[in-house]
Amino acid sequence: MAGLMRHSLLVTVLAALLLPLLSGCGEVAITGRRQVMLVSDDMVHAMAFEQYDAFLEEHPVSTDPAKVEPVRRVGYRLVEAVEHYSRQQGRPELLEGFQWQFNVIEDDQINAWVMPGGKVVVYTGILPVTRDDEGLAVVLGHEIAHAVARHGSERMSQGLLFELGGMALSRAVQERPEATQQLFMQSYGLGAQIGVLLPYSRLHEREADRLGMIFMAMAGYDPSAAVDFWQRMAAAQEGPRPPELLSTHPADDTRIAYIKEVLPEAMQYYTPRRND
């Protein structure tokens, strides 16, 4: 991370985040959950896009079509379904300012992540677990859901409220610059160990699982593949070295039970599409 972002730039950006705030509240698509939202998409996206490009420059981006093409095919098919849904619901703001990108990194870790505004990374290590398009749709649907539901921005907002005692971001930047910077980095996974995020709360994980399955169903992928995928992840967990994704995405019985619980809801959105 060192060198990617200078402290003064961060302070400027954080200060700019503040202005529109404090009355902020949002609502998550489909689940309808109200969320505290104290940071604006515009600034968060600008920062995330810059960080994503920097990440790609410093990591081995795969050019192997056998790995990259399926990820992009499935990713953009999911995006198309979510875009269709947001238009249909009259909620274009859900995807406003998003610039979707799907890249594959040559790395054994069993992991994938998303930055605000739709910047996705998938590591080659997870491909044997995803196995096919349905498996990829589980992972990508989940990551797309985190982005669409603004979970990173919600974490940032909660951090401002609870860790910085409800301090307004403008004051926090002035008076607690280091704590504020750390909070921002953690919330968006922009720290030195990018991709090793603070674990999302169980609430966010559940919401991403549920929305991700609905998105995959909308895109014509059978959401019951999520049960199979997470069982394969659980099996991978029994190996000698627990895969990275499992530290932030535990593949435990509770998760699999929840996925089975929300499967009937996701199935309501499912129309199988012909293979093309």
**Which positions are catalytic?**
143
Distance CA 143, CA 212 (A): 7
- Counting residues that bind Zn ion (by CB under 5 A) gives 1
- Is residue 114 within 8 Å of 167, Cβ to Cβ? no
Determine, following the binding rule CB under 5 A, whether residue 95 of this chain makes contact with Zn ion.
no
Determine, following the binding rule CB under 5 A, whether residue 219 of this chain makes contact with Zn ion.
no
Determine, following the binding rule CB under 5 A, whether residue 115 of this chain makes contact with Zn ion.
no
Considering only residues 134 to 173 of the shown chain, the ones binding Zn ion according to CB under 5 A are none
Which CB atom, from 39 or from 208, has the smaller least distance to Zn ion? 208
Stretch that binds Zn ion, among 16-24, 86-94, 208-216, 232-240 (CB under 5 A): 208-216
Q: How far is the CB of 113 from Zn ion (least distance, A)?
A: 8
Determine, following the binding rule CB under 5 A, whether residue 208 of this chain makes contact with Zn ion.
yes
Stretch that binds Zn ion, among 3-11, 12-20, 161-169, 202-210 (CB under 5 A): 202-210
Which CB atom, from 105 or from 140, has the smaller least distance to Zn ion? 140
- Is residue 108 within 8 Å of 128, Cβ to Cβ? no
Which CB atom, from 172 or from 212, has the smaller least distance to Zn ion? 212
Distance CA 187, CA 36 (A): 14
Which CB atom, from 17 or from 229, has the smaller least distance to Zn ion? 229
CA dist 53 → 3, 4, 58, 120, 208 (Å): 14, 10, 9, 11, 25
Q: Starting from the edge strand earliest in sequence, which strands make up the sheet with 112-115, in order?
A: 101-105, 119-123, 112-115
Nearest residue to Zn ion, using CB? 208
> x-or-dash pattern for Zn ion, window 57-76, by CB under 5 A?
--------------------
By the criterion CB under 5 A, which residues form the site for Zn ion?
208
